[in-house]
Amino acid sequence: MSLYDDPLIALDEDGIIIKSYWRPGNERRIAYGDVRAASRIPIGFWTGRARLVGIGFGRPFHFFHWDRHRGSKQAALSLELGRMLKTAITPDEPDRVLELISERIG
pLDDT at 86: 95
Residue 52 has pLDDT above 80, yes or no: no
- Interval 43-66 mean pLDDT: 83
**Radius of gyration, CA atoms only, the chain:** 12
Domain ranges of the chain: 2-105
Q: Is the pLDDT of residue 51 over 80?
A: no
Amino acid at residue number 60? P
pTM over 0.85: yes
7-45 burial string, b = 16+ CB within 10 Å, else e? ebbbbeeebbbbbbbeeeeeeeebebeebeebeeeebee
Q: In whole numbers, what is the pLDDT of the chain averaged over residues?
A: 93
